Amino acid sequence: MSRSVALFLLLLLSGCGLFPKELKDSKSWSASKYYSEAKTELNEGNYQAAIKLFEALEARYPYGRYAQQAQLEVAYAHYKDGEPATAIAAADRFIKLHPNHANVDYAYYLKGLANFNDDLGLMGIVSERILGQDMSERDPKASRESFENFKELVTRFPKSKYASDAVQRMKHLVNVVALNEVQVARYYMKRGGYVAAANRAQYALKEYPQTPATEEALFIMVKAYDALGITSLRDDADRVMRKNFPGSRFLSDSTESDGEPWWRFW
């Protein structure tokens, strides 16, 4: 690579904010100076610049409270920069190195947030805002992991200031994962996979009871068992649904004037 090309790339990267300002003069900085400069970059939304400064701080002053806090701030900066996997890895590193740190609960919380917002990248924005797809229609892996992260936080640190928010997010995530199971059951149902549809809907009822997905899960079970000719299980599911959801939209939408049973219609 020629010197002119190298200089051009250096200037380009510097202009994009990938190199912290005045880093060339940082050799004489104290740990607190590194930290305050990094926090300034972080607060201004210059996440990559902040990360470089926090990492430089840890490299130059590897011991003490500033280095420890820098490790946690790096995880947060990666999270804010839309890098959930890197944020989780940084949070895990902090937890491993400082399991008894006063702020270790935040590391667990940050892992949950990173997984919770894992769908908010470019493809997530396209799916959610343009295609109208919600979290339940995508791979639930991140949602499951986020739930486990928040669960671990609440279990280990029930008095944490982040516990209340974690519980609320857990409630939302349960609904998301349950609805995903129903989405899959619906997929099988539309393609004639009645056994798979019934099993998936039954799993949703068993693992995630009392969620909004329960209503449609019961409806799918009725439809699937009817298609399979298993009238006893169909009638059981029908009875449970009518008892618990007497005003269900599935009941009203499926009623036909010719006397056909309501479960024959989607």
Query: How far, CA to CA in Å, does 3 sit from each of 6, 10, 233?
Result: 5, 10, 76
Inform me whether the pLDDT recorded for 128 exceeds 80: no
> According to the model, what pLDDT value does residue 252 have?
65
> According to the model, what pLDDT value does residue 118 have?
55
Q: What is the largest CA-CA distance in the chain?
A: 87
**Burial of 258 per CB tally in 10 Å (0-12, 13-18, 19+):** exposed
Of 135, 221, 144, the residue nearest 179 (C-alpha): 135
User: Residues with Cβ < 8 Å from 91, sequence gap 6 or more?
Assistant: 72, 75, 107, 108, 110, 111, 114
Cβ contact 212:175 at 8 Å? yes
Alpha carbon distance 74, 209 (integer Å): 39
Query: Sign of the C-alpha dihedral, residues 115, 49, 53, 11?
Result: positive
> According to the model, what pLDDT value does residue 262 have?
42
pTM of the model: 0.71
* Token reading at 63: 């011991």
Inform me whether the pLDDT recorded for 8 exceeds 80: no
Inform me whether the pLDDT recorded for 20 exceeds 80: no
C-alpha 175, offset from chain centre: 13
Residue type, 113: L
Cβ contact 215:178 at 8 Å? no
Residue type, 204: A
Give residue-wise pLDDT tens across range 159-168: 999 999 999 9
**Torsion angle (degrees, nearest 10) of CA 178, 179, 181, 187:** 170
Give residue-wise pLDDT tens across range 211-226: 999 999 999 999 999 9
pLDDT grade for 79, boundaries at 50, 70 and 90: very high
Average of pLDDT values for 173-195?
A: 94
Of 94, 139, 95, the residue nearest 115 (C-alpha): 139
Alpha carbon distance 69, 193 (integer Å): 53
Alpha carbon distance 125, 136 (integer Å): 14
